[in-house]
Structure 1
Amino acid sequence: MTPLTRAELGALGEQLAVEHLRSLGLRVLDRNWRCRYGELDVIAADDRACVAVFVEVKTRTSDRFGGVEQAVTPQKVRRLRRLAGLWLAAQEVSWSQVRIDVVGVRIGRGSPPQISHLSGVG
């Protein structure tokens, strides 16, 4: 079996993250939303609490470059907030709360994928 390209690895990680979010009862509203300032990986809704959840997905094959906590810097959180604001401005629905989460997907050879979920990072 040939190794996955970075794009394939990212797409697989994102799909696993979406399945994880759905298993928690979240409804996926959008994926790979883009504007001139960047991209939001997954936008989901927690309908029970009327919360819009903006999810950054980090897919890794090892922890060589640090874990999920190290992958989302304060600068990255500021960028995600800006993008979330732009997405929200284009919506007709109003949300009582907004949250930014990070889902880390670690895909190792021969072992099942490991998912970590940090809720409310910014």
Structure 2
Amino acid sequence: MTQLGKTGEAIAKEHFELLGFEFVEQGFRYERAETDLIFKDDTKKIIIFVEVKTRRSKMFGEPEESVTERKMQQMIHSAQGFIMLNPKYDDYEKRFDIAAIMIENGKAKMNHIINCF
């Protein structure tokens, strides 16, 4: 992972924790699919699978525009693998979010897309 990617994931992790979600795992891999960050809220029985996209410029569009249909399918596959390996979350609501982060001139701006699909 690049330094930019690590920075983006750290920003997203802090954001979700400030929202009150408990961090579960980072970089979960299942077969060829990966989930960047996983959070939970045991009170609301929700588990959140987060894709983090970080960019330095909009030359190739907004960060969230790079989450393709294929990437969404990989997120679902990774989440299914996580639930299969962690059945205690089977009855939790599953949510997929995008943390789209733009870092320009040393300042980060995040667009948190809740329940992106």
TM-score, with length taken from structure 1 = 0.87
Determine the structure 1 residue equivalent to 2:37: 42
Determine the structure 1 residue equivalent to 2:103: 107
Say what the alpha-carbon RMSD is for the aligned residues: 1.5
User: C-alpha deviations, 1:11-57, integer Å up to 9, x for none?
Assistant: 01100100001011111100011232121100111233111100000
Determine the structure 2 residue equivalent to 1:90: 85
Unmatched 5+ residue regions in structure 1? 1-5
2:69 maps to 1:74: yes
Q: 1 CA distance for matches of 2:87 and 2:30?
A: 18
Q: 2 CA distance for matches of 1:84 and 1:57?
A: 15
Residue correspondences, number: 116
The 3-state SS of whatever aligns with 1:65 is coil
- Post-superposition shift, 1:68? 3.5
Give 4+ residue runs of structure 1 displaced > 6 Å after superposition. Answer: none
2:28 maps to 1:33: yes
Determine the structure 1 residue equivalent to 2:60: 65
User: C-alpha deviations, 1:62-85, integer Å up to 9, x for none?
Assistant: 122111441212221111101100
- Post-superposition shift, 1:60? 0.5
Q: Which amino acid counterpart does residue 9 of structure 2 have in structure 1? A: E
Q: 2 CA distance for matches of 1:115 and 1:97?
A: 24
Identity %: 30
- Post-superposition shift, 1:109? 1.7
